[in-house]
Structure formats: C-alpha cells, structure tokens
Amino acid sequence: MRAKPFNYQYILSCLRLIKNNIRVFLRETLKSRPCLAAEADQEDKGEMILIEFKHAEKTFNDGTKAVIDFSLQIGKGEFVSLVGPSGCGKTTTLKMINRLLEPTAGSILIEGRPAEAFDRHILRRNIGYVLQQIALFPHMNVEENISVVPLLNNWDKERIRKRSHELMEMIGLAPDAYLKRYPHELSGGQQQRIGIIRALAANPDILLMDEPFSALDPISRKQLQEDIQELQKEIRKTIVFVTHDIKEAAKLSDRICLMNKGQIVQYGTPEELRNQPANDFVRTFFADFEPSAWHHTVKELLAECPMEFSVMQEDLFKPELAEEGNYTVLVSPEGKFAGLAYEGKVMSQAILSPDMTIESAASIMLNQSAAVHPVLINETCCGLVGYSQLLTYLRQKQTGREV
C-alpha cells in the first residue's frame, strides 16, 4: 500500500490556528494584568488620571459604613493627601487602592482599568505602601529589607545592590555605614526613611503612605517632611498620603481630600480649601491653621503684588528704545516666553511656576544673579517676581507673626 502524501496545507492551517490562539491568549493576559506606566514626568503631572474612585463604598460585615459614595480622581505624579478626623475612612480608602480591601459598591480604576482586573500580587508590587508603625522586618538588615520586593520581581543581585545604594544616597544615609545595620541599630527617623525607600525599591508607580510620620518626634517629622518633598521633586510618583495634620497636608500636597464620616467634604488645592472652604467643617478644620506666608504660593503673591512689565515680540525688540527701569518680556511670534530684558539688556533668569511656594521661589532666586524672574504657565509668562515684591508681600502678610 502506498503511503499517504504529507498534507502541507493542513499542517500550515493548524500552525496558523495555534499562532492565533497564542496571540489571543497573550492579548487577554496582558489586558487583565497590565503593567502600570513608568515613572511620571513632571510634564505629565496631573494630566493623566492614574487613580479614579467611582462612587466607591465600603461597608464592613458588621454594617459599619466606612466609605460612602466616594468619587475622586488623582492625576499621574500628583501628591494627594486624605485628611479628616479619626475613623472617617482614610485608611479604608487607601487600602482599596492596592486591594487590601475590596469596595462593596462602585469601583476603583487604576490607569482607567478596574483594580480587580489586575493580578492582586502584581498590583501590590507596583504600589509602594508605607505604614504608620515602622514595619521593617527586625531580623533582616537594611539591605535585606530593601531587597524584598525587587527579589519577588526577580531582579538580579547587581541590580538590587545598585538600587539600594541609589536609594540610600537619596535619603542621605551613607550606604556603607547603614546597609548592613539591623532596624534596632537605627533611630526612629532613620527607620522610617528606610520604610519609605523600601516601598520605593522596585520603582512602583504609586506610593501609599498611611500617617507615615505620626510616630516621630516633631524634629524628625519636620526633617522627613522636607525629605519627602525633595524626594518627590526627583521621583515624581503618584502619592496618596494620609494624615491628621492639615499643616503637613498643606505643606506637601498638590491637592487635599478632606473627609468626614466616610464622605468627601471638599477636594482641592490647599489654597482652595483655605480660601474657599465649602462649608463650616472645612473652615473649622483650617481655623487653627494659618500657614506662614512663606508657604503661600507664587500665584497668591502675583495676585496681591503684581509687577509691571511690557511685552514685545522678540524679533521686533530694539534695546536702544527701552525705557529706564522697564522690564520687557520677549515672546516668540506664537506668544511663548523667549526671554526677559531689563532696560534693553537681556538677562539670564530662573523660571518660576505659579504653584510653587514663596519659600521655593526664594530659594531658587537666591541662587541667581538676577533680581527679577518670570513666572510661566505652559511657556507663557503670567507675571514677574522680584525681591522687592517678595518682601512687600511677606511684610503685608506678617501681621505681627514671624514670617
């Protein structure tokens, strides 16, 4: 009997079918376990919504309604604080982001996808979590504590070593002196710093912090607040931060979500909550808190102490025609900022932004030779800030208090 000839067409169609099935499988798998986006760039800040609560609720088995009809959007790279009295649902809200708790109604979206579509473990490895109690593993040294999540993510030894050194440098602790120490050989402030970099070790996109500084003495607390401010300038993570302390929240946050009895009372910039409180609850919360004028924003300074200047298209600018004492903002034909001239002479200067605090603006200005600097929004100049204006504003706000 003659052997049947090989049916190549049949084999090819089988291979095609297998290939398509693999494709569908990979697509579905990736869809259900997406990677979170890489680090936020400063330019991206706030533009893309990274975390969204949509009418989320949490009712515990005993009937406690911890979170009620909670809708909130948090932009990529934003620092958002949840503030409110004890028991108002801050921790519960935070834990629903990394699925330590599941909402009983509504949904939570991460990068536009329901949190439950992510593999729970992968999601947690992409979301750093810092707790109030310094929760370092006592039997592990600092390096081992930092390595936990990178090891779970299969990082090799060299990559982990480099990352631990980089993180230790970031928080100002010499790696050679501290990496081999055990938690009991560190101060409370140092332990909490390690807690923060441990949460950042695998480079997560989101950092959740639940009253991370409350166990510390006031000096360490202030120092750590400053550290986290500096760190955030460098790493631009999306941070959700829980605190009782409205002053701390106002100092650190882009936006504050003030909660009461499981609900949002007001969500906005510290300035909005302070200047346009939605109701008496917000007003009372801010009543004892009048921040130093150094913590007001450049925007507030511009509104109260504007500085005069003229605007001229760069290619039409004639230095010899400039008037005495006059500042001229030079712009491109599209109206974008192109330079700043004083009495016809173009000066080098730093760029300020309306949302930075007066303290940050002053520290930038002190490192420059020029006395006046432009404030830009999307490359368009919205005002100038000079030393004399800054002093006038601080004096006006002083009202007997130290500024």
As a whole number of angstroms, the distance between CA 230 and CA 225 comes to: 9
Task: Please state the closest distance from residue 266 (CB atom) to ligand ATP, in A.
Answer: 16
Helix runs in 69-129, H state only: 90-97, 120-125
Residue 91 in contact with Mg ion, rule: CB under 5 A: yes
Q: Kindly tell me which of 90 and 251 has the beta carbon lying closer to ligand ATP.
A: 90
With tokens 């707790």, the residue in question is 131
- The residue range among 69-77, 81-89, 295-303, 336-344 that interacts with ligand ATP, by the rule CB under 6 A, is 81-89
Choose the contact partner of 306 out of ligand ATP, Mg ion, none; CB within 5 to 8 A by kind: none
Choose the contact partner of 192 out of ligand ATP, Mg ion, none; CB within 5 to 8 A by kind: none
Helices 387-398 and 358-366 sit at what angle, rounded to 10 degrees?
Answer: 150
Choose the contact partner of 60 out of Mg ion, ligand ATP, none; CB within 5 to 8 A by kind: ligand ATP
Q: Give the total of residues touching ligand ATP (CB under 6 A).
A: 12
Residue 88 in contact with ligand ATP, rule: CB under 6 A: yes
Q: Kindly tell me which of 238 and 243 has the beta carbon lying closer to ligand ATP.
A: 243
Residue 87 in contact with ligand ATP, rule: CB under 6 A: yes
Q: Kindly tell me which of 160 and 246 has the beta carbon lying closer to Mg ion.
A: 246
Residue 20 in contact with ligand ATP, rule: CB under 6 A: no
Choose the contact partner of 87 out of Mg ion, ligand ATP, none; CB within 5 to 8 A by kind: ligand ATP
Residue 297 in contact with Mg ion, rule: CB under 5 A: no
As a whole number of angstroms, the distance between CA 17 and CA 181 comes to: 57
Among 25, 60, 137, 289, binds ligand ATP (CB under 6 A): 60
As a whole number of angstroms, the distance between CA 41 and CA 160 comes to: 23
Spacing of C-alpha 228 from chain mean position:
10
Rg, Å, the chain Cα set = 27
As a whole number of angstroms, the distance between CA 107 and CA 96 comes to: 9
Task: Please state the closest distance from residue 226 (CB atom) to ligand ATP, in A.
Answer: 24
User: Distance between the two ends of the chain, CA-based, in angstroms?
Assistant: 104
As a whole number of angstroms, the distance between CA 226 and CA 222 comes to: 6
Residue 47, CB-side half-sphere exposure with 13 Å CA sphere = 7
Q: Kindly tell me which of 69 and 300 has the beta carbon lying closer to ligand ATP.
A: 69
As a whole number of angstroms, the distance between CA 53 and CA 161 comes to: 37
Q: Kindly tell me which of 62 and 320 has the beta carbon lying closer to ligand ATP.
A: 62
With tokens 């931060």, the residue in question is 241
Name the residues that contact ligand ATP, by CB under 6 A: 60, 62, 64, 66, 84, 86-92
Name the residues that contact Mg ion, by CB under 5 A: 91
